[in-house]
Amino acid sequence: MTHLQFTVYAVPVAQPRQRHRIVNMRAGKSFVHNYTPAKDPVNAYKYELKQKAKVYMDGAPLLEGPLRLSLDVYLPRPKKYNSKKYPDGAIWHQGRKDLDNLAKSVMDALTQIV
């Protein structure tokens, strides 16, 4: 079993829901175009992941077969916990980040690289 491990120092961004628009073609034909807006922060996050993965893989062939992904996600400390009444160090995240969408942004970025 191959084990790959690398660290990316970037603020994690969850994959947002895709936007949709109908594109009308000539002769009455149309199709639905699904996209993520170009200025969405997830694009910069995925770019960082892709660059790190490309350097790590260093031209190695793509992995095949069943794969398992393990993530340790560290989010920025909320500003309200920066006061002196809260201890320094890591705290458990209590917000509404969607773990599935955090993992999806990572998996999307690593597709066709790892």
Q: Where are the domains of the chain?
A: 19-110
> Under DSSP, is residue 105 helix (H, G, I), strand (E, B) or coil?
helix
Q: List the one residue out of 88, 57, 95 whose CA is nearest residue 73.
A: 95
> Under DSSP, is residue 56 helix (H, G, I), strand (E, B) or coil?
helix
Which H helix or E strand runs over 30?
strand 30-35
Residue type, 59: G
Name 35's bridge partners.
Answer: 19
Q: List the one residue out of 94, 106, 104 whose CA is nearest residue 48.
A: 106
Query: What pLDDT, on a 0 to 100 scale, did the predictor assign at position 28?
Result: 81
Query: What pLDDT, on a 0 to 100 scale, did the predictor assign at position 113?
Result: 92
Per-residue pLDDT of the chain (114 residues; tens, 9 = 90+): 567 888 899 999 988 888 888 888 888 888 888 888 889 999 999 999 999 999 989 888 998 888 888 998 888 888 888 888 888 888 887 777 688 899 999 999 999 998
Query: What pLDDT, on a 0 to 100 scale, did the predictor assign at position 97?
Result: 66
For the entire predicted model, the pTM comes to 0.78
